[in-house]
Structure 1
Amino acid sequence: MTVISLSTDVMPPSERAESWRDFISRTIHNVSVERISAKDFSARISARQHDGIRCASFWTKAHDVCGKRETLGNAGASGYLVSWQMEGTAEITHDEQRRILVRPGDVTIIDSRRPMKVCFPGSVRRIVANLPAAAVEKSLPVLQHIHSMPLAPAEPFAAILRSYLVELSTGNHALKLGDGDLLVENICNLLRVIAHRQDVYMTPRELQRAAIARFVSRHASNPDLSLDDAAAHLKMSSRLIQKVLHEQGTSFSNMLLQERLELARTQLLACHDRISGIAYACGFNDISHFNHAFRKRFGMTPSDVRSAEPAGRRDA
């Protein structure tokens, strides 16, 4: 997870806008750049990428950045942008209608799969992390409906979140394979705590979805886990659980399968165990079914994922 940096100060003014756009598109999110001065624009940025996390810390003069709606051609490339405003102000227009004024100390969570425009009226310093949509929505299901959320973290949670983002964007500590998934989970749980303390509204249905998702996530490795188990634990009827998940476009069996596949993928990248052993440990009883489902979900076989890793991490 090497830190990569860019400073426009060493470039001819005519090249700065395109270099800036290209760098943030590669390290944060694919955007276009507008309202940028051809004479005195200046920006500095440091970024790191690891295990599905992209995080950058930057200072820049006034300009605007715009992101388009995710299309079939780039589906899955976007996630939620979690931004910490350190200096200066910003105005975010999201989904072509909601406006959020951002001041120093504010945190914003934006679904980058939807249209957005971020205006920097003057110089700003901020940290931005692009996190997987599924992980963010699991902790904050309300985002599936409102798609953006401003937060004003209080201590001690502000310091904890800030330390995570600083380390991810500019830190020198090496991360091991699999650490990224754990860090994403920790950041998302921290955002949930911050949102809860600010009484961010969640409907009863959203609370039900969140409870089901948490239960499945915690017990996915149990090969005997059933819909009836979830109903008994959550004190909800099996029919209600199926109805809640149907509204999300999924089912209990599919949610459980996807959770097990994600768990297996994380284990493949993090340990030396045999692929069959990982499959069994993640709740699968049939290796053929596991291999088929894994390839359908990730476009690669478990062996392909293992082979893509450095020597010494192959399946024994």
Structure 2
Amino acid sequence: MSPVAKLPSNSVLAEAGADCRRESQLFAETLDPVFRTTMATPERLDDFRASLATYFMGPALFFAAEMLGTTYRFARDPGRIARSGLDLIFVQVTLDGSDMRTVNGETMLVEAGDISLFDLSRPMQAETQHCRNLTLVLPRRLLFGKDAQTDALHGLLLKRSTSTARLIGSHLRALFADLTDITPDEAPAIVTATANLVSNLVAPQIAERSLPSPTVRGAVLMEIRRYIEQSLALPDLGPEHLCKVFGLSRASLYRLFEPIGGVTDHIRSRRLRAAFDMLVDERKRTVGEIAYACGFSDISAFSRAFRHQFGMSPREVREMGERGPLALGSAEKQAAASVHDWLRIVSAL
């Protein structure tokens, strides 16, 4: 009888010992597509421990992390967002300890038992001295559907006193406890069921946060972003075009988009994201046709920008889509050793 297949996994552990510095660097490098990670030199090395276990579930990743014994800082800035190109949602339960998190200009305390959601297409910072957490990493479309408006989920915090937090938290704990027994064939259905549970439970909170902003600035930014999504095919879509359509000065437009990395970078990022999705979903269209449909007039420039954003060429993404990224059984995915590769695969779904 052949052994039961296990989920591909990766573990990193840094603690007191001769290799502490190298292991700490590996911990930070593993998280590099997501965060710039810095760790202060521990006052007492015996208390220091940083661990990260990653499980590849096909249409999702699962992280189990522990940070002890020093100050850890995690930053996701506009530059990292643009370079990584990850379109993912983190659903996280804090098991022990706490962290201070800055999202949308507001600082919040995340404590044991709390559930937090954050969007990797948006900036955030966090700092902790002692924290253990579990994180389910999901593609946006699996959690909320392709056309859902998800601006309001970034920074959503569900306190441990709420039934919603307790239900999601208990489910993530149970999932983690069973990860070593889940097979690659079982994983997609489990991920889908978990995504449905989370999306249904947080929908009321997201709807409440999605009410029109009381500020004109917030409402205008939301309207412009919607227009950009609907107009990616326009070759002249850019600051000048948007200023004419919305009657804004360049300075006003730049101020609106400054918190999310700038208007030009935002347009380019959304065009490349649309091209990525079309390469996976619309296999009858050529790479050139998709580039033009997303507003690029130069195929070579498109290919260079695409590789810079996603770390893969358009043709490599097309081939990945043809292999079917949800099929966990392929030898290539089973043999994947890089958490970075797994993040890209899940983001492409």
What is the TM-score normalised by the length of structure 1? 0.58
What's 2:90 paired with?
A: 81
Q: Which runs of 5+ in 2 are unaligned?
A: 1-6, 214-222, 232-272, 291-313, 332-349
For 1:291, give the aligned amino acid: K
Q: Which runs of 5+ in 1 are unaligned?
A: 207-242, 252-257, 266-278, 280-288, 312-316
TM alignment of 1:175-254, pairs within 5 A: 175-176=183-184, 179-180=187-188, 182-196=189-203, 201-203=208-210, 247=227, 249-250=229-230
- In 2, Cα distance between equivalents of 1:168 and 1:22: 23
Structure 1 position 50 matched with structure 2 position 57: yes
Structure 1 position 113 matched with structure 2 position 93: no
Q: How many residues align?
A: 240
Q: Deviations over 1:30-71 (max 9, x none)?
A: 432243527523123322013242211122214222222245
Q: Which of residues 169, 173, 185 is equivalent to 2:181?
A: 173
Question: Counterpart of 1:88 in 2: which secondary structure?
Answer: strand
Q: Does 1 or 2 have the higher relative contact order (CA < 8 Å, sep 6+)?
A: 2
For 1:299, give the aligned amino acid: V
- Shifted more, 85-94 versus 291-300: the winner is 291-300
Q: Cα RMSD between the aligned structures?
A: 4.4
Question: Counterpart of 2:229 in 1: which secondary structure?
Answer: coil
For 1:81, give the aligned amino acid: F
When residues 303 and 130 of structure 1 are mapped into structure 2, their CA distance, relative to the original with a 3 A threshold, is closer
Q: 1:55·1:128 contact (CA, 8 Å) conserved in 2?
A: yes
Question: Counterpart of 2:63 in 1: which secondary structure?
Answer: strand
Q: Which of residues 139, 142, 151 is equivalent to 1:135?
A: 142
Q: Deviations over 1:65-93 (max 9, x none)?
A: 22222454422x34122210111111111
Q: Deviations over 1:164-216 (max 9, x none)?
A: 45535871123335843x4444333322333246585055789xxxxxxxxxx
When residues 176 and 42 of structure 1 are mapped into structure 2, their CA distance, relative to the original with a 3 A threshold, is closer
Displacement after TM superposition at 1:111 (Å): 1.3
What's 1:275 paired with?
A: none
- In 1, Cα distance between equivalents of 2:190 and 2:141: 14
When residues 110 and 303 of structure 1 are mapped into structure 2, their CA distance, relative to the original with a 3 A threshold, is closer
Q: 2:118·2:156 contact (CA, 8 Å) conserved in 1?
A: yes
Displacement after TM superposition at 1:144 (Å): 1.7
For 1:44, give the aligned amino acid: S
- In 1, Cα distance between equivalents of 2:194 and 2:147: 12
Q: Deviations over 1:274-310 (max 9, x none)?
A: xxxxx9xxxxxxxxx7532799598325894169964
What's 2:335 paired with?
A: none
Question: Counterpart of 2:208 in 1: which secondary structure?
Answer: coil
Q: 1:16·1:42 contact (CA, 8 Å) conserved in 2?
A: no
For 1:8, give the aligned amino acid: A
What's 2:252 paired with?
A: none
Displacement after TM superposition at 1:142 (Å): 5.4
- In 2, Cα distance between equivalents of 1:197 and 1:303: 34
What's 1:223 paired with?
A: none
When residues 303 and 192 of structure 1 are mapped into structure 2, their CA distance, relative to the original with a 3 A threshold, is closer
Q: 2:65·2:133 contact (CA, 8 Å) conserved in 1?
A: yes
When residues 65 and 302 of structure 1 are mapped into structure 2, their CA distance, relative to the original with a 3 A threshold, is closer
Q: 2:158·2:165 contact (CA, 8 Å) conserved in 1?
A: no
